[in-house]
Chain A
Amino acid sequence: MSDVILAVENLEAWYGDAKILHGLSFSLKKGEVLSLIGSNGAGKSTLLKCICGLLPKKTGTIHFNGEAINSLVANDVVARGIALVPEGRRLFPSLSVEENLILGGQVRRPGPWNLEAIYNLFPVLKEKRDVPSTSLSGGQQQMVAIGRGLMSNPDLILLDELSLGLAPIVIKDIYALLPRIVGNGLSAILVEQDVTRALDSANHFLCIQEGHISLEGAPKAFTKDQISAAYFGM
């Protein structure tokens, strides 16, 4: 069990009275990339919000590095080593590119990521370090969001809809950098609408359907038809 970084047991979550997650259980090993696939509204982003402490109404247990983090709020979860790259980037519009990155390192843990390392990964950001973050293109904004997530040197990074609203060529470029991002033993949970890309990028996947896990395992262990059936609930 020592190589398990995240263990989720019987997780249930609600938005108001609406129950979104129905008893999810799974685990993630150190250095692994886990893809979450499923249709819109299946509960993928809700699961990420539960893990990073943004959704208080939940039951079940979430252990991270052996510590129960279910009751921690988001600012304490990030200090434990979990970073979220949120859906839609959610950069701070009144902060420059570099200020956004610096803020990501507000809770700095020891590790390889710092401003220079981020600029090496995304050289275009160094040129634009002083401009307002929202004046960048969508792809560049996504780079800032990823860099901001890495700046705290997390053990686990949650990547929510990396490709949302981006041109195919930009998506390809960002995914080409994924091995460099999740190298060094960093674990990742990837939420992605593009199922093929999600499965190609992961060691393991969960298919979520209406808040239940409908299929899980190594992507190569299942046929396309089996995954489609789980995805659409057939």
Chain B
Amino acid sequence: MIWVNIIIQGILVGGLYALFAAGLSLIFGVMRLVNIAHGDLIVAAAFLAWAIIQKTGMHPLLSLLLVVPIAMALGYALQRYILNRTLGKDILPPLLVTFGLSVILQNGLLEAFTADSRKLNAGALETSSFPLLPGVGIGYLPLLQFIIAVAVIAGLQYMFYNTALGRAFRATSDDSETALLMGLDKRKVYAWAMALCLGVVAVAGVFLGIRANFDPFMGPGRLIFGFEAVIIGGLGNLWGTLVGGIILGVAQGIGAQLNPGWQVLAGHLVFLLVLAVRPRGLFPRMDG
């Protein structure tokens, strides 16, 4: 039963990794941009939530009502006024600029919030659970986190394939020059994609902050988990990203059970295995 428990807990943690990765997957799918600052943006969202909670005393989940729209507005502006200028045939400028943004965010957060670890206090939600089977308890927080991850990915998937905005994303991703001929301003399309990405990042940041301590320098680690989930699942495939997150979570759970020091290592090894056997991931979707 202990292994059943480990796998179930791994699946639930995988939801958080999928949240880390969904925005990366969306942005790569729409504009082929690899955002090195993605993990730092998640941490920045957690700090934003922390600051709002300090001011208002609201519950972390309620703070999403403010954190998500603020993050979306910042994402729109970030893409419209900075990242759009770096996009072109050369993939290096966006990589360098987002790397620079990562450094700026880390040091900006250090200046603003110091190096102290913070945590978002969600009260009883953090510790309460219910028994699923003998020896298998399900925490309400990991379950909620997983349900929200599935809902976010289902929502993004619906938006992608059933709305005018999703059509614009797919068309611009297919052929941005011809999309211009349809009257689509790719600078605005990309800005909306980044706004959505940052909305998901905000959700991921708040759950990260509820689940564990965070500090200004933990962004790159979240970026690695996000990357691994995206690569395992397949580039540009949102449901694949969820599966990638789950595989990563389960692998880490099994690794930790074998030896507490192997938790992160086990995730990396599974990632390397997938990269060696299926370099385009388990469910590749986008070409290029």
Binding site for B on A (CB under 8 A): 52-54, 73-75, 78-79, 83-84, 86, 90, 92-95, 99, 102-104, 106-107, 148, 152
| Choice from B174, B182, B183, B184 contacting A93 with Cβ under 8 Å | B174
- Which residues from 20 to 61 on chain B have a C-beta closer than 8 Å to any C-beta of chain A? none
**Does residue B268 face the partner (Cβ distance < 8 Å to A)?**
no
List of B residues within 8 angstroms of A83 by Cβ:
181
**Does residue B126 face the partner (Cβ distance < 8 Å to A)?**
no
Can you list 19 pairs linking A and B with CB atoms under 8 Å apart? A53-B180, A54-B177, A74-B180, A75-B181, A75-B183, A78-B182, A79-B183, A92-B174, A92-B178, A94-B170, A94-B171, A95-B170, A102-B167, A103-B182, A103-B184, A106-B168, A148-B182, A152-B182, A152-B183
- Determine whether the beta carbon of A74 is less than 8 Å from that of B170: no
- Which residues from 147 to 203 on chain B have a C-beta closer than 8 Å to any C-beta of chain A? 164, 167-168, 170-171, 173-175, 177-185
Which of under 10, 10 to 19, 20 to 34, or 35 or more describes the interface residues of B?
10 to 19
List of B residues within 8 angstroms of A104 by Cβ:
182
List of B residues within 8 angstroms of A102 by Cβ:
167
Among A53, A73, A94, A102, chain B packs the most CB atoms within 10 A around the CB of: A94
Binding site for A on B (CB under 8 A): 164, 167-168, 170-171, 173-175, 177-185
List of A residues within 8 angstroms of B164 by Cβ:
106
Give A52 to B182 CA distance when docked, in angstroms: 11
Q: How far is the CB of A46 from chain B (nearest CB, A)?
A: 14
What 10 A-B pairs come out closest when comparing CB atoms? A107-B183, A74-B180, A92-B174, A94-B170, A90-B178, A78-B183, A92-B171, A106-B183, A103-B182, A75-B185
Give A53 to B178 CA distance when docked, in angstroms: 12
Known contacts A92-B170, A107-B183, then 7 further A-B pairs from the complex at CB < 8 Å, ordered by chain A residue = A54-B177, A75-B181, A78-B182, A103-B167, A103-B184, A106-B183, A148-B182
List of B residues within 8 angstroms of A75 by Cβ:
180-185
List of A residues within 8 angstroms of B177 by Cβ:
54, 74
- Determine whether the beta carbon of A86 is less than 8 Å from that of B181: yes
